[in-house]
């Protein structure tokens, strides 16, 4: 399969890339997780009911940014997560958004928001971050080119996973 025929890489796939390659494949092939899963319901609630003064769900090309702040303060984009447990994944997802926006000529700061923990983390895109994002995009594309999902492998993320039925039933 050539890359032009593959589903488009987006922030959600970058997020799943550091968690589980099977989730990347499932999501890209329109196999959605259990929408009634407690973690998904809680995440949706937090996303819809926090930082209400900010602009939410801003679409730029193939990315959808959770939060945009500016122009009256310091311009930044943000990603809202229910927990910092997967902070590395959230950081990479936000770097991906910064990378895409840099391609449009916008150099912005990013901020991860963990409202239940009352925690924030600034995220910047430097040269190491650019390389990290480019490796992740290549890794996602490789997973998407597979005819079947990657092999099943027990990971620390399996227990709370909304895709568990696809793997363990």
Instruction: Count other Cβ atoms within 10 Å, centred on residue 80.
Output: 20
Q: Please, are residues 54 and 25 in contact by the beta-carbon 8 Å criterion?
A: no
CATH class, domain 3-168, is: alpha beta
The structural domains of the chain, with segments of one domain joined by +, span: 3-168
Q: What angle do CA 157, 160, 161 make, to 5 degrees?
A: 70
Q: At what angle do helices 127-144 and 87-103 cross, to 10 degrees?
A: 100
The pTM score is 0.83
> How do residues 65-101 score in pLDDT, each as one tens digit?
877 777 655 678 888 888 888 899 999 999 999 999 8
Element (H, E) at 136: helix 127-144
> How do residues 95-151 score in pLDDT, each as one tens digit?
999 999 898 888 889 999 898 899 999 999 999 999 999 999 999 999 999 999 999
């Amino acid at each position: 399969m050539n890359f032009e025929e593959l589903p488009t890489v987006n922030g959600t796939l970058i997020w799943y890339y550091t968690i589980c390659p099977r989730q990347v494949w499932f999501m890209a092939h329109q196999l959605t997780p259990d929408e009634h899963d407690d973690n998904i319901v809680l995440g949706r609630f937090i996303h819809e009911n926090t930082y209400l003064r900010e602009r939410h769900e801003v679409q730029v090309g193939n990315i959808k940014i959770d939060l945009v702040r500016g122009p009256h303060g310091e311009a930044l984009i943000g990603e809202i997560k229910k927990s910092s447990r997967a902070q590395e994944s959230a950081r990479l997802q936000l770097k991906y958004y910064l990378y895409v926006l840099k391609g449009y000529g916008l150099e912005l700061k990013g901020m991860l928001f963990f409202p239940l923990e009352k925690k924030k983390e600034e995220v910047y895109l430097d040269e190491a971050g650019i390389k990290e994002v480019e490796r992740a995009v290549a890794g996602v594309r490789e997973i998407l080119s597979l005819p079947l999902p990657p092999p099943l492998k027990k990971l620390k993320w399996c227990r709370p996973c909304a895709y568990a039925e696809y793997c363990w039933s």
